[in-house]
A and B are shown apart, each in its own frame.
Chain A
Amino acid sequence: MRQMLILAGEEFREGLRNRWVLSTVLLLAALAFALALLGSAPIGETRVSPLGVTTVSLASLTVYLVPLIALTLSHDAIVGERERGTLLLLLSYPVSRWQVLWGKFFGHLAIILVAVVMGYGSTGLYIALSTGSVAADWALFVSMVGSSLVLGSVFIALGYLISVSVSSRATAAGVAIATWLFIVVVYDLLLLGVLLTGAGTRVSSDLFGMLMLLNPADIYRLFNLAGTEAASLVSGSLGSFEGTFLTPGILLAGLFIWVALPMAGSLWIFKRHEL
Chain B
Amino acid sequence: MNALEVHGLCKSYGDHRVVDGLDLVLGRGESLAIVGHNGAGKTTLMKLILGLTRASAGNVALWSYESGSRAAVPPRESVGFLPEVVSFHAGMSGRQMLRFYARLKNESQRQCEELLDLVGLSAAADRKIGTYSKGMRQRLGLAQALLGEPALLLLDEPTSGLDPFLRRHFYEILNERQASGTSIIISSHALTEIEAQTNRIAIMKQGRILVQGSLSQLRREAALPVHILATCGAHCREPLLRELQTTAPTELLGANQVCFTCREEEKLTLLHHLTLHREWVTDLLVRPPRLDDLYTHFVNGDTD
Contact B83 A89 (CB under 8 A): yes
Assuming A93-B101, A275-B47, is B54 touching A85 (CB within 8 A)?
no
A89-B81, A92-B79, A274-B54 as given contacts; A6 in contact with B87, CB under 8 Å: no
Could you say which residues of chain A place their CB within 8 Å of the CB of B91? 14, 17-18
Q: What number of residue pairs across chains A and B have CB atoms under 8 A from each other?
A: 52
- A123-151: CB near B (< 8 Å → 1, else 0) gives 00000000000000000000000000000
Check if A95 is an interface residue, CB within 8 A of chain B: yes
What residues of A have a CB within 8 angstroms of the CB of B85 in the complex?
85
- Our pick among B79, B89, B106 for the contact of A86 (Cβ within 8 Å) is B89
Mark out the residues of chain B between 25 and 69 whose CB falls within 8 Å of any chain A CB in the assembled complex.
47, 50, 52-54
Q: A17-B92, A94-B77, A275-B47 are in contact. Are A88 and B103 (CB under 8 A)?
A: no
- Chain A interface: which size bin? 20 to 34
Q: Is the CB of B88 within 8 A of A6?
A: no
CA distance A91 to B81 in the complex (A): 10
- Residues from chain B with a CB closer than 8 A to the CB of A85 are 83, 85-87
**B88 x A275 contact (CB < 8 A):** no
- Judging by beta carbons under 8 Å apart, are A275 and B81 in contact? no
Cβ of A3 within 8 Å of any chain B Cβ, yes or no, is yes
Q: CB-nearest residue of chain B relative to A3?
A: B104
Return the CB mask of A84-126 against B: 1 if under 8 Å, else 0: 1110110111110000000000000000000000000000000
Q: Given A17-B91, A275-B47, do A91 and B105 touch, yes or no (CB 8 Å)? A: no
- The answer to whether A88 touches B100 (Cβ under 8 A) is no
A206: Cβ under 8 A from any B Cβ: no
Q: Is A10 among interface residues, defined by CB-CB distance under 8 A?
A: yes
A92 & B92 in contact (Cβ 8 Å cutoff) = no
* CB of B188 within 8 Å of the partner chain: no
B267 contacts the other chain (Cβ, under 8 Å)? no
Q: Is the CB of A91 within 8 A of B104?
A: no
Q: Which of A88, A89, A92 has the most CB of B within 10 A?
A: A92
Q: Which of A86, A88, A93, A275 contacts B104 (CB 8 A)?
A: A93
Residues in A217-275 with C-beta less than 8 Å from chain B: 274-275
- Chain B residue at minimal CB-CB distance from A5: B103
Question: Complex: how many Å from CA A84 to CA B90?
Answer: 10
Closest to A7 in B: B104
Contact A6 B103 (CB under 8 A): yes
Alpha-carbon distance between A7 and B87 when the two chains are bound, in angstroms: 17
A92-B52, A274-B53, A275-B53 given; A86·B100 CB < 8 A? no
Task: Give the complex CA separation of A93 and B104 in angstroms.
Answer: 7
| Distance (whole angstroms) from the CB of A95 to the closest CB of chain B | 6
Chain A residue contacts of B100, Cβ below 8 A: 6, 10
**A89, B144: Cβ atoms closer than 8 Å:** yes
Is B76 in contact with chain A by the CB < 8 A criterion?
Answer: yes
B86, B87, B92, B106: which has the most chain A beta carbons within 10 Å?
A: B87
How far, in angstroms, from A84 to B53 measured CA to CA in the complex?
A: 18
Query: Given A86-B88, A86-B89, A275-B47, does the pair A91, B52 have CB atoms closer than 8 Å?
Result: yes
* Docked complex Cα distance between A3 and B77 (Å): 13
How far apart are A138's CB and chain B's nearest CB, in angstroms? Answer: 39
Instruction: Give the docked Cα–Cα distance between A84 and B100 (Å).
Output: 17
Q: Which of B73-131 contact A (CB under 8 A)?
A: 76-77, 79, 81, 83, 85-89, 91-92, 100-101, 103-106
Distance in angstroms from A181 CB to nearest chain B CB is 30
Residues of B within 8 A of A86 (CB): 87-89
Docked CA distance A92–B154 (Å): 10
Q: Nearest chain-A residue to B104 (Cβ)?
A: A93
Q: What residues on B are CB-neighbors of A3 within 8 Å?
A: 104
- The minimal Cβ–Cβ distance linking B101 to chain A, given in whole angstroms, is 7
CA distance A84 to B81 in the complex (A): 17
CA distance A14 to B100 in the complex (A): 12
Q: Given the known A-B contacts A10-B100, A89-B144, A274-B53, are A84 and B87 also in contact in the complex, defined by CB atoms under 8 Å?
A: yes
Complex CA gap A14/B90 in Å reads 11
Chain A, residues 1-39, CB within 8 Å of chain B (1/0): the string is 011001100100010011000000000000000000000
Contacts of B88 in A (CB 8 A): 86
A7 to B91, CA, bound (A): 16
The 6 sampled A-B contact pairs (Cβ below 8 Å) are: A86-B88, A89-B81, A89-B144, A92-B50, A94-B76, A94-B104
Q: A85-B83, A86-B88 are known contacts; what are 9 more A-B pairs with Cβ within 8 Å? A: A2-B106, A3-B104, A6-B103, A18-B91, A89-B86, A93-B76, A94-B77, A274-B54, A275-B52
Residues on B lying within 8 angstroms of A by beta carbon are 47, 50, 52-54, 76-77, 79, 81, 83, 85-89, 91-92, 100-101, 103-106, 144
